[in-house]
């Protein structure tokens, strides 16, 4: 194994240096990484197989609903809906009804696709659903907020009381860019195309460069982009244009980069995932490339994140990490190729086995069934809602 303490990159004839210092093997940071990986491998207990439904995510339903163990009454539903800009659903006698105020039709369509798959399994129920990126029922220290039942796709467990549901983007909606003008969507199709891309570019053929493309929805992404500018042989990270883009200032002073397909990400060994406004939709796609996923920050969640194990399925990166720490992590992975490849395979296997379309459908069934048992009143048809037909 060859170790290089300092990597020097000359950019445009200048003297910018990419140096490893306090995060290098020389002062024992690598020992910490090795210890974290060994511990994760020893302590990891795979969730038990359960036929066509993964049981990996069941604990999330339990945790999200425990705050409502005293029951959910009609007044709580009405208060939740009165928060505004939310969508109310009813399921009665195997039919779906929805309020007219869906802010994002593609997102509602994505939700309704899965509801239509499991209607025959669901009890009569009603719930309030949030199609915005940001959760709406906040926990405030010292403030007694009522636990209002609102379904949101993402949240921070310590900050929000929202009930997580599988994002619409498993079927429709999601980030809309020029490559995906109606949003990412169709997870079933991406599983096939990304699986093929991973086969076409196996580990030994991947470029040993860290890669990121995305818009500047969070300044947490800035250190990696700056590192890419000073160390382009180590990192290829650039900002793309989004709908809010007005000038190069919005892309950290450089012209926006061209968008890159998800499949093209599979050409790189190290793929960075950052939160956007909330959790990032791209995380599940990156795993299927069989590249090492470096997941920045652990606060924002989707329903399937809690079963992932840092240092076993992915490399965790603090959201406060600066260029120096990122550089040290990348050198560690590059110099420990077998470990890096193993983590890449473990992450890909997890998503391949436990985030199938049937697992998403099963989660909807389990979530609504468990939630509906908490309702303390009989569901009556709301005439303000319209029937949704597929």
Please check whether residue 113 is in contact with residue 105, taking contact to mean a CB–CB distance below 8 angstroms.
Answer: no
CA separation for the pair 379, 96 (Å, rounded):
13
User: Are 45 and 52 contacting, i.e. CB atoms less than 8 angstroms apart?
Assistant: no
Catalytic (active site) residue 133: yes
What is the dihedral sign for C-alpha 192, 115, 78, 87?
positive
Structure token digits, residue 132: 């915005």
Of residues 58, 64, 133, 162, which has the active-site annotation? 133
What distance in Å separates the CA atoms of residue 117 and residue 148, rounded to the nearest whole number? Answer: 27
Contact call for residues 288 and 354 (beta carbons, < 8 A) = no
Categorise residue 253: left if φ over 0, alpha if ψ from -120 to 50, beta otherwise.
left
β-partners of residue 98 are: 89, 386
Q: What is the largest CA-CA distance in the chain?
A: 74
Cross-strand pairs, 56: none
Other CB atoms within a 10 A radius of the CB of residue 386 amount to 12
Three-state secondary-structure class, residue 171 = coil
Which phi and psi angles does 265 have, rounded to 5°? -60, -30
Take residue 330 and report the two structure tokens written for it. Answer: 């990348």
Question: φ and ψ at 208, to 5 degrees?
Answer: -80, 60
Residues 6+ apart with CB under 8 A from 368: 91, 118, 122, 123, 125, 127
Phi and psi at 187, nearest 5°, equal -55, -35
Other CB atoms closer than 10 Å to residue 358's CB: what's the count? 13
Q: Write out the catalytic residue numbers.
A: 133
């Amino acid at each position: 194994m060859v170790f290089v303490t300092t990597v020097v990159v000359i950019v445009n004839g200048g003297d910018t240096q990419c140096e490893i210092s306090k995060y290098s093997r020389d002062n024992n940071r690598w020992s910490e990484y090795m210890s974290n990986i060994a511990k994760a491998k020893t302590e990891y207990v795979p969730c038990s197989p359960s036929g066509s439904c993964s049981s990996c995510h069941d604990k999330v339903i339990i945790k999200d609903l425990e705050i409502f163990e005293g029951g959910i009454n009609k007044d709580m539903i009405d208060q939740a809906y009165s928060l505004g800009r939310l969508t109310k659903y009813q399921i009665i006698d195997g039919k779906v009804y929805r309020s007219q105020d869906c802010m994002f039709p593609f997102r509602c369509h994505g939700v309704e696709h899965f509801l239509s798959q499991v209607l025959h399994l669901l009890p009569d129920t009603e719930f309030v659903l949030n199609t915005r990126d940001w959760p709406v029922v906040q926990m405030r220290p010292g403030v007694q907020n009522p636990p209002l039942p609102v379904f949101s796709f993402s949240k921070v467990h310590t900050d929000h009381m929202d009930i997580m549901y599988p994002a619409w983007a498993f079927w429709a909606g999601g980030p809309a860019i020029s490559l995906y003008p109606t949003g990412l969507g169709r997870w079933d199709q991406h599983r096939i195309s990304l699986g093929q891309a991973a086969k076409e570019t196996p580990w030994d053929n991947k470029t040993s460069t860290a890669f990121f493309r995305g818009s500047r929805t969070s300044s947490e992404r800035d250190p990696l982009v700056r590192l890419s500018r000073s160390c382009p042989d180590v990192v290829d990270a650039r900002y793309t244009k989004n709908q809010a883009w007005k000038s190069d200032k919005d892309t950290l002073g450089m012209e926006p980069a061209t968008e890159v397909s998800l499949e093209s990400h599979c050409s790189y060994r190290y793929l960075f995932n950052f939160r956007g406004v909330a959790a990032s939709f791209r995380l599940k796609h990156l795993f299927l490339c069989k590249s090492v996923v470096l997941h920045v920050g652990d606060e924002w969640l989707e329903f399937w994140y809690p079963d992932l194990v840092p240092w076993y399925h992915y490399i965790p990166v603090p959201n406060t990490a600066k260029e120096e720490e990122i550089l040290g992590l990348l050198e560690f992975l590059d110099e420990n190729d077998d470990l890096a490849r193993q983590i890449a395979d473990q992450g890909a296997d997890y998503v391949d086995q436990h985030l199938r379309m049937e697992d998403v459908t099963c989660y909807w069934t389990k979530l609504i069934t468990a939630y509906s048992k908490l309702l303390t009143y009989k569901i009556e048809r709301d005439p303000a809602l319209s029937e949704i037909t597929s």
